[in-house]
Amino acid sequence: MAVAYETDLAKLGTLTGYSGPDQPDDDLLRACVHCGMCLPSCPTYRLTGQEMSSPRGRLWLMRGVADGRLDLLDPIFDEQMYQCLNCRACEAVCPSGVHYGPLVEAARSQLERHRPRPVWQRVLRRVALGGVFGDQRVFRAVVGGLRLYQRSGLAALVRRTGVLKPLKLAETERMMPPVAARFLRPGAERWTPSSPARAVRLFNGCVMGTVFADTNRAAGRVLAHNGAAVDVPVGQQCCGALHVHAGMMDEARALAKTNIAAFEAAPDGEIAVTAAGCGAALKEYGFLLKDDPAWAERARAFADRVRDVTELLADRPLAVPTQAVDRIVTYQEPCHLAHAQRITAQPRAILDAIPGLTLVEMRESSLCCGSAGIYNLIRREMAEELGDRKARHVLETPATAVVTANPGCAMQLRASLARNGSAASVVHVVEVLDEAYGGSAAWPPEGGREPGGSRPQRP
Amino acid sequence: MSRAHDHLIERLERILGPGGVFHRPADLLVYEYDGSVEGAVDTAAPVAVALPTTTEQVAAIVRLANEFDLPVTPRGAGTGLSGGAVAQRGGIVVALTRMDRILEIDPEDRTALVEPGVINLELSEATIPGGHFFAPDPSSQKACTVGGNVAENSGGPHCLKYGVTTNHVLGLEVVLPDGRVVWTGGRAGHAPGYDLTGALVGSEGMLGIVTKALVRLTPNPEATLVELAAFPDVESASLAVSRIIAAGIVPAALELMDNLTIQAVEPAYHAGYPMDAGAVLLAELDGIAEDVRAEGEDVAVLCRETGATSVRVASEKPERDLLWKGRKMALAAMGRLTPNYYLHDTVVPRTKLPAALRRVAEVATEYDLPIANVLHAGDGNLHPLILFDRRQPGAVERVLHASHELLHSCVELGGALSGEHGIGTEKRAALTLVFSADDLAAMAGIKNSFDPKSCFNPEKLFPAGYRCGEVRALRAQALAQKLGIYAM
Amino acid sequence: MNTPPTIDGLTPSALVTPLSAAELADTLAQAAADGLKVAPIGGGTALALGNPPERVDLALSTLALNGVLDYEPSDLVLSVAAGARFADVQALLAGHGQTLPLDPPGDAAATIGGLIATALAGPRRLGSGTLRDLLIGIAVAHPAGIVTKSGGMVVKNVTGFDLPRLYHGSLGTLGVIVSANLKVLPRARAEATLIARVVALDDALAAADRVRASRLRPVALEAALVDGAWFAAVRLEGRPATVATLAAEAAGLLESDTETLHGTDSAAWWRRYVAHQAVHAAPDEALLRFAVRPRATADLVRAVLRAVDGSGAIPRAVMASVGVGTVIVRAALDPEGAAATLSSLTATISPIADHVTVIAAPPAWKRGLDVWGGAPQTLDVMRALKSHFDPERVLNPGRFAGRI
């Protein structure tokens, strides 16, 4: 997988212009007036200082293809479309309101459709994105294997012997946090306060529901603490974000339809998401399915229900946290929260409400950490450079923990901090809030009453 | 490509390493523009782009360009609005984005030594904790580079009180067009000889490439106050500007926005601008706390006297930022209203602002183009924003005609062609509106003294046909005429 | 005035006073055609500045180019002919509550053109900058017989190359300034000066440093020896109430026997102080200017004092602009071997100071040295500029840096 996207600079043929479905929208493309205000927000531009690695440059390349001045199959086009982290920081600062994300995704989709790739690359991509992320059962089996690996003593042995180094997998291995003891299965757990004021449906997510299942449980508890009856509807699948980012639109649409149907079966209440990347993708289902008459309306209705968990919590007065969390933290903005969803104040407001906690801002807190979905697996060098830069900024602060709100960021931050000699831990916003509410102790997994008088229920 | 081309690339790679040179067509494509409006400035691709990291590399590139007889175009972030960074005659673009280190901040001398690729705002962010800021603050300050500011002599809202870039540059390390590295100016004043630093600032990359800039830092003001006054119309707001100035108050910034701008900004950013106001005036006062308080009261009174329907005062940073947000996001808000806009930049004497604004309104009607006004009212710098949709047939032409009309009117009112965006290729043809052949000959003298081969950033600033050779002839002709050697 | 003034012992054979810019340009062209060398003269207050001219045939006065060309108080800009006297301009501006925030040496006689050409600035440059910062447009007559203009009448202007700054301090070697457009500022409503009498130099420097580190933003801050006494001087401006508050704060910081002057008394004190920097030298003295980065001012002034003492010279005035990095010294030298003393004095301080300039000295002493302290690194560019604007070297030949 690590080499799946490395650009083969030999030209693989020529193709003029875009064709078929999912072309970059021409009006959107021409909304860019190349003013350059996006440049400093772009992680790849910050690292390289080169125009083609900037949002403006990439849009100009896309225009070049549309105008027939640049071949769709030019290796530089391919290189740049995939070098982009799709962090969408550029969108948040664009004076002209250019929707960059959908454009780069459409360009990638064009490359997916038209670019001849070696068979082994295609197979790898199908297996990774289609097979593993496309099916929750497979995904859970893989993560289950990982958990076994971590606990069996094999992990320690592997690290000691360094056998993964030659395979360039050592970093990937290091990134993996301890997998939760128990996965969160849809339909299996719910959190209900004694007198619920509303219903909230938790979107589980592939990584969140497995590796970070305890974070999702914390989200369930804090939402319940704030008066919501929380459940995890059955039938939900991967959000499809990784597929959209990779330009695999057909796969993404299939997943979207499954999710829409699953949550239509739980019709009332907002859909809470604990992974910023999933949230951004779910909120864009309307755009993804806009050309499908049978689904367009349903997708829009679905997207309207989606909220990031911090957004949902900050939506109304927060139940006052009572337990002091004496810690200095800094906050890393997940790109798909800050830029794609424009949620920046809410997580900070939640942290501010926690007694004992001190939030110290680091430099460039909104610059991508280099995770960007699976980018850190396929563009290791650039991802590591961004991770190091991030770790340096964390080390400049007295923080002992980095708070974030996305699993990819959490894994990338873990690895980067460790590599740069930082002992800071990485936690999700809801985990800190959960701690301030008394944590799982206040919500015993089996029976018992928590101080607020509500009772966790397990069917 | 030809052997000579291959040879050039090979030599460049020897200087910069393979990662520092771009020459494949797709790479060059993205270096054919800057921030200028398409239609007003032509795009043009170089034959190679060099991204140096040291002064020595810049010098070596320039010597190589000399050897190959190629033009050189320096480039910062490429946010310029007059085409300054576009390689109109091809050649080598020297992009300084990788020379982005702040080398030294000296709070005692109140200076900073920076490489040209340092981003304007990030310099201030680095110096503010130590008690100082870098005063020039062009609207693109989040993205533009200090090197670019030096080349364009950038202004910004706060130059009303603090002056423009040239007032804040103490010395420059420069690679001259012959490849030599020299220093002009420095930490100490009274350097002997001509003020070449002064000549280099605002020279649009035509005289040399700045590789280090020694800039002045300004102490953070002790107190800052922002006032937002709403007026029934632009005239009364302009009158308030005159009255404030006449009262002996020099605000740090004095910005005016008209109703069209308010209509775009307020719904998008909720900065609290009254939607029914004909214009709002944003005044920032800073300095010693006692003075700021007193001046703030005076400004509020003057605004009310001249017809302000409301005055909001903000002294704490979050409130101040909110009031500024509407101004800072004005362009963004416009961008969302219309597919395209042409941001204009002209300047008139302060008292001619009402006349200039009337003219803008007339031009808007005449050409059937909505024009919004955001202006640095304190120093007479107008930024008419022409809104259009380039997909409409003839729209671009209409916009270009309208802008030419605006330029003419501002010159007639005693103004200048550009307050802060530069001439570049955008306005070079209009230069003869303000300068005679003799005036241009004097400017060409500077050009020739630095760059006798005329290889730095060609096709900029001077109107077509005013290149070196012609200028010498012109001067000789002027001399001959004056001396009556022969009648013309 | 029909008698041409003497410049470094050389007397031009004629003095001409053209009545218009065009006439002045024609005069220059004629001089160029006739192979004459010209020394432009304004108020004649700074003729001692520069190396002795190689030759002077004609003194060219700008005094007939007098008067305000355009002044719109609400625009805070002013256009004046080069021969306008600085003092007259200030009087006019004062009538409208405005000012040029400058205190150059040269008494009432200095002209605007002369001040631009010589780039002389007084202690106020700490708080208000120099003419360089106020210059927004300029018109200059060249030996080609043409008058060229650049800049304009607006405070913010990037239309074309920035020639006004090139002419500032060019000592009339590129052309003769015929008019200038200047940014003006509102006059401060009140001012105060605090003079702290101290025992020694170090006390004056320490007092000045405390003021510099405070919230006060003095427009001038000096540590000086004048009339045999050391003192630190602070000039404050602003609204009356603020100035009163700040003056009290300054008195506390100065920590010594402090005298406070207000309003016109304050202004008058500074005029007397700046008079010590006037560009002329008695037959037994030299006026020198040393420049360093601001943080090195204290070291510089100590080194200068040591060198002056070591050379046997007697300091008549030592004036250090703290925060600017300029030290001006007026010293009496034993006429016996004075030229050599002066040379060794400048040589001793050269390693410490970035720039050493002999502002004024008897002509005989100047012959052996370059008063500008050596040629700048960019001399060839400067020569190219000179040869473009004045190819026949009509204007002030040899007087400027690098003997341009």
The string of DSSP letters for A108-135 reads HHHHHHH----HHHHHHHIIIIIIITT-
Of B97, B100, B142, the CB nearest to A37: B142
pLDDT of residue B473: 55
What pLDDT band is residue A153 in, cutting at 50, 70 and 90?
Answer: confident
Minimal CA separation from C40 to chain B, in Å: 17
CB A114 within 8 A of CB A47: no
In this structure, which amino acid lies at residue B351? T
A31 in contact with B, Cβ within 8 Å: yes
A129 shares its domain with A205: no
- Positive/negative CA dihedral, A285, A288, A291, A294: negative
Q: How many domains does chain A have?
A: 4
pLDDT of residue B448: 94
pLDDT of residue B472 exceeding 60: no
Q: Where among A114, A133, A148 does a domain terminate?
A: A114
Can you tell me the distance from the alpha carbon of C103 to that of B235, in angstroms, rounded to the nearest whole number? 38
Nearest CA in chain A to B22: A50
8 Å CB contact of B349 and C142: no
> Is A95 within a domain?
yes
What pLDDT band is residue A173 in, cutting at 50, 70 and 90?
Answer: confident
Nearest CA in chain C to B191: C355
Q: What number is the average pLDDT over the span A302-326?
A: 95
A297 shares its domain with A338: no
For β-strands B92-95 and B72-75, DSSP reports them as parallel
Q: What number is the average pLDDT over the span C249-271?
A: 94
Burial degree of C3 (CB within 10 A; 0-12, 13-18, 19+): exposed
B257 shares its domain with B300: yes
> Is B129 within a domain?
yes
pLDDT of residue B479: 55
> Is A336 within a domain?
yes
pLDDT of residue A171 exceeding 70: no
> Is A448 within a domain?
no
8 Å CB contact of B187 and C239: no
Q: What number is the average pLDDT over the span C19-41?
A: 97
Can you tell me the distance from the alpha carbon of A290 to that of B486, in angstroms, rounded to the nearest whole number? 78
Q: What is the pLDDT of residues A67-103, one digit of tens each?
A: 999 999 999 999 999 999 999 999 988 888 899 999 9
Of residues A174 and A189, the one with the higher pLDDT is: A189
Interface of B with A in 330-389 (CB under 8 A): 331-332, 335-336, 339-341
A393 shares its domain with A298: no
pLDDT of residue A165: 63
A358 shares its domain with A418: yes
Nearest CA in chain C to B170: C293
> Is B398 within a domain?
no
What length does chain C have? 404
pLDDT of residue B475 exceeding 70: no
Minimal CA separation from B328 to chain A, in Å: 10
> Is A34 within a domain?
yes
8 Å CB contact of B423 and C160: yes
Minimal CA separation from B199 to chain C, in Å: 6
B225 shares its domain with B332: yes
First to last CA, chain B: 49
Q: What is the pLDDT of residues B282-329, one digit of tens each?
A: 999 999 999 999 999 999 999 999 999 999 999 999 999 999 988 888
8 Å CB contact of C385 and B166: no
Take residue A241 and report the two structure tokens written for it.
Answer: 């974000």
A303 shares its domain with A349: no
Q: Where among B188, B219, B250 does a domain terminate?
A: B219
Of B153, B163, B438, the CB nearest to C162: B153
Of C29, C72, C155, the CB nearest to B351: C72
Number of residue pairs across B and C with CB atoms under 8 Å?
267
Interface of C with B in 349-388 (CB under 8 A): 353-355, 357, 372-379, 381-382, 384-385, 388
Burial degree of B52 (CB within 10 A; 0-12, 13-18, 19+): buried
β-partners of residue A198 are: A228
CB C355 within 8 A of CB C336: no
8 Å CB contact of C148 and B108: no
For β-strands C147-151 and C190-198, DSSP reports them as unpaired
Q: Where among A106, A140, A175 does a domain terminate?
A: A175
CB C29 within 8 A of CB C147: no
pLDDT of residue B328: 83
Range of the domain at A334: 327-436
> Is B371 within a domain?
no
Chain B partners of A61 at a C-beta cutoff of 8 Å? 26, 29-30
Of B31, B51, B78, the CB nearest to A36: B78
A110 shares its domain with A124: no
Nearest CA in chain B to A34: B35
The string of DSSP letters for C176-198 reads EEEEEEEE-EEPPSEEEEEEEEE
What pLDDT band is residue A329 in, cutting at 50, 70 and 90?
Answer: very high
8 Å CB contact of A61 and B29: yes
Q: What is the pLDDT of residues A371-396, one digit of tens each?
A: 877 777 677 888 999 999 999 999 99
> Is B89 within a domain?
yes
8 Å CB contact of B336 and A97: yes
8 Å CB contact of A60 and B97: no
Chain B partners of A76 at a C-beta cutoff of 8 Å? 24, 26-27
Non-local (6+) Cβ contacts of A267 within 8 A are none
The string of DSSP letters for C216-264 reads ---SEEEEEEETTEEEEEEEEEE-HHHHHHHHHHHHHHH-SSEEEEEHH
8 Å CB contact of B140 and A77: no
> Is B405 within a domain?
no
Of the candidates C255, C256, C352, which has an alpha carbon nearest to the alpha carbon of residue C302? C352
Chains contacting B (3+ CB pairs below 8 angstroms): A, C
pLDDT of residue C217 exceeding 90: yes
Minimal CA separation from C362 to chain B, in Å: 21
Can you tell me the distance from the alpha carbon of B54 to that of B95, in angstroms, rounded to the nearest whole number? 12
Chains contacting A (3+ CB pairs below 8 angstroms): B
8 Å CB contact of B33 and A74: no
pLDDT of residue A224: 95
pLDDT of residue A281: 96
> Is A181 within a domain?
no
A252 shares its domain with A339: no
> Is A420 within a domain?
yes
Q: What is the pLDDT of residues C320-358, one digit of tens each?
A: 999 999 999 999 999 899 999 999 999 999 999 999 999
Nearest CA in chain A to B77: A36
What pLDDT band is residue A443 in, cutting at 50, 70 and 90?
Answer: low
pLDDT of residue B180: 97
> Is A183 within a domain?
no
Chains contacting C (3+ CB pairs below 8 angstroms): B
Q: What number is the average pLDDT over the span C382-399?
A: 96
Prediction ipTM score: 0.97
Percent of chain C at pLDDT > 90 equals 96
Q: Where among B171, B192, B219 does a domain terminate?
A: B219
Q: How many domains does chain B have?
A: 4
Non-local (6+) Cβ contacts of B370 within 8 A are B260, B338, B364, B386, B387
What pLDDT band is residue A145 in, cutting at 50, 70 and 90?
Answer: confident
B80 shares its domain with B179: no
Strands of the sheet containing C258-262, edge to edge, are C258-262, C190-198, C229-238, C220-226, C314-321, C326-332, C285-291, C355-360
Q: Which DSSP letter does residue A426 get?
A: E
Q: Mutate one of A16, A27, A28, A37 to test the B interface: name it (highest B CB count within 10 A).
A: A37
A103 shares its domain with A166: no
pLDDT of residue B283: 97
> Is B388 within a domain?
no
CB C80 within 8 A of CB C68: yes
Give the containing element (helix H, strand E) for A62. helix A55-66
B91 shares its domain with B109: no
> Is A3 within a domain?
no
B10 shares its domain with B46: yes
Q: Where among B279, B309, B337 does a domain terminate?
A: B337
The string of DSSP letters for A163-203 reads TTGGGT-HHHHHHPPPPPSS---TTT-EEE-SS-SEEEEEE
Place of tokens 């971590």: A150
CB B323 within 8 A of CB B282: yes
Chain B partners of C403 at a C-beta cutoff of 8 Å? none
8 Å CB contact of B22 and A77: no
A170 shares its domain with A153: yes
Chain B partners of C402 at a C-beta cutoff of 8 Å? 192-193
Nearest CA in chain A to B98: A49
8 Å CB contact of B22 and A50: yes
> Is B320 within a domain?
yes
Q: What is the pLDDT of residues B94-111, one digit of tens each?
A: 999 999 999 999 999 999
A94 shares its domain with A64: yes
Q: What is the pLDDT of residues B229-244, one digit of tens each?
A: 999 999 999 999 999 9
pLDDT of residue A246: 86
B89 shares its domain with B108: no
CB C171 within 8 A of CB C50: yes
8 Å CB contact of C133 and B163: yes
Chain C partners of B479 at a C-beta cutoff of 8 Å? 29, 144-146
Percent of chain B at pLDDT > 70 equals 95
pLDDT of residue A459: 37
Range of the domain at B40: 3-95
Q: What number is the average pLDDT over the span C60-67?
A: 96
Q: What is the pLDDT of residues B368-426, one digit of tens each?
A: 999 999 999 999 999 999 999 888 899 989 999 999 999 999 999 999 999 999 999 99
Nearest CA in chain C to B149: C158
Q: What is the mean pLDDT of chain B?
A: 92
B473 in contact with A, Cβ within 8 Å: no
Chain A partners of B44 at a C-beta cutoff of 8 Å? none
B477 in contact with A, Cβ within 8 Å: no
Minimal CA separation from C199 to chain B, in Å: 26
CATH code (residue B227)? 3.30.70.2190
Interface of A with B in 87-146 (CB under 8 A): 93-97
pLDDT of residue C212: 95
CATH code (residue B22)? 3.30.43.10
Q: Do chains B and A have 3 or more beta-carbon pairs under 8 angstroms?
A: yes
A91 shares its domain with A162: no
pLDDT of residue A81: 95
B54 shares its domain with B108: no
The string of DSSP letters for B229-265 reads EEESSHHHHHHHHHHHHHTT---SEEEEEEHHHHHHH
Minimal CA separation from B21 to chain A, in Å: 10
This prediction's pTM: 0.92
CATH code (residue A44)? 1.10.1060.10
B205 shares its domain with B114: yes
> Is B419 within a domain?
no
